[in-house]
Structure 1
């Protein structure tokens, strides 16, 4: 019997659920589309979709399950919710930043945050950032924070240098 997760994100798209799921699964390793469901005649007076069009896509990103729903224009994404991507190296950080930011809102890029072409917000963060920001020496932590606040895409070496003083 498959393991059932208690909590997994559901992303509400106007009509780009399948396109977005394919985009995301093309970026992250250990990712795949696991199921597609389609609208039928039932409930058409409510959902207004043509029978056979994609209703929802179940997919996994780095093993984490997600659902993408084509729900119409009732809800929109905003930056209050984001997905954090933990990166061990600058190359890894650069990879996710470049791929996820392509076609996204450049005005929304700050302090490691970006908004992708679908309006979903992501934080592309170096694994060591919590340790740098949480340093017991407040001066070191403050220098790291000041450096981070001046960046769009985070630069691991620059953060380390700021931390060191």
Structure 2
């Protein structure tokens, strides 16, 4: 059962974006999961009263959540989504990759051109019309089967060359193992031979990947793309919160920022049920770390 969910910040466009992704991505459906209440909102939330709060999309069975909010944040390539088009599990995988690329590029921007690379016979990196970054890859049908969707963390700017440290930290706190790690063979002005060119690892039942940027870029993790971790009870929330929260001013409504700048939402696994309680939204707004008994 999925425990890690990537959350994408949308500037009032979550429902529209959900429909866009359901049409653009293979094996994808969408649903409005929750709505803003009509009362008890903060002033800046008043324009969203009654609108969608969270919209979920399922890509090949993996859930992503679109958070409907304001212009405060936006996604950037520091956290992207890898789409693995595996000919062993997807019919007409290359044709589906081409169609998905064309759909995401409509109103989007090419970050790496679609073409042949040493690690894939067809690969491209695109930021779509909502600023969300996608890496599309035709995988080796003889290799280990990969999920259709895997999140990727790129360590750049102030977090440059901290990918290995971060992976060790996340797997120790959340529970997981490194599957594979490849280092850069040659150093340059940005990376050393200890820097991570690519790694994939598990967090609970989920697979995540990470890399150190191979070029200098002023790119930082922001709440525009956050990672949600579902906890079984208050004890797990307390343990993870204490281990991970590193920026006190970022603590709000279950959100924290870790020492690498990555934003996390540490929430109870039964968050949906808690939010259905009377005045739950108002109660949540008063919390930093979520306390189940205070909903």
TM range (shorter): 0.7 to 0.9
Task: Please state if 1:83 is matched with 2:227.
Answer: yes
Aligned residues: 147
Partner of 1:162: none
Contact 1:86 1:126 in 2 (8 A): yes
| 1:82-124 CA distance string (max 9 Å, x none) | 11111221101111111111xx211111000001000111111
Q: Out of 185, 188, 191, which is 1:40 matched to?
A: 185
Of 16-25 and 73-82, deviating more is: 73-82
Q: Which has the higher strand share?
A: 2
Looking at structure 2, the residues matched to 127 and 62 of structure 1 have their Cα atoms a distance apart, in angstroms, of 14
Q: Out of 224, 233, 250, which is 1:108 matched to?
A: 250
Looking at structure 2, the residues matched to 50 and 154 of structure 1 have their Cα atoms a distance apart, in angstroms, of 40
Gaps of 5+ in 1: 160-165
Contact 1:12 1:76 in 2 (8 A): no
Per the alignment, do residues 89 and 53 of structure 1 end up closer, same or farther by CA in structure 2, a change over 3 Å counting? closer
Task: Please state if 1:99 is matched with 2:243.
Answer: yes
Looking at structure 1, the residues matched to 269 and 240 of structure 2 have their Cα atoms a distance apart, in angstroms, of 14
Task: Please state if 1:153 is matched with 2:292.
Answer: no
Map 1:46-65 to 2 at 5 A. Answer: 48-51=190-193, 53-65=195-207
Looking at structure 1, the residues matched to 222 and 204 of structure 2 have their Cα atoms a distance apart, in angstroms, of 23
Give 3-state SS (helix, strand or coil) of 2:223's partner: coil
Partner of 2:170: 24
Q: Which has the higher helix share?
A: 1
Map 1:113-128 to 2 at 5 A. Answer: 113-128=255-270
Taking structure 2 as the reference length, the TM-score comes to: 0.47
Contact 1:17 1:56 in 2 (8 A): no
Gaps of 5+ in 2: 1-142
Per the alignment, do residues 6 and 109 of structure 1 end up closer, same or farther by CA in structure 2, a change over 3 Å counting? same
Per the alignment, do residues 84 and 52 of structure 1 end up closer, same or farther by CA in structure 2, a change over 3 Å counting? closer
The structure with higher relative contact order (CA 8 Å, sep 6+) is 1
Taking structure 1 as the reference length, the TM-score comes to: 0.80
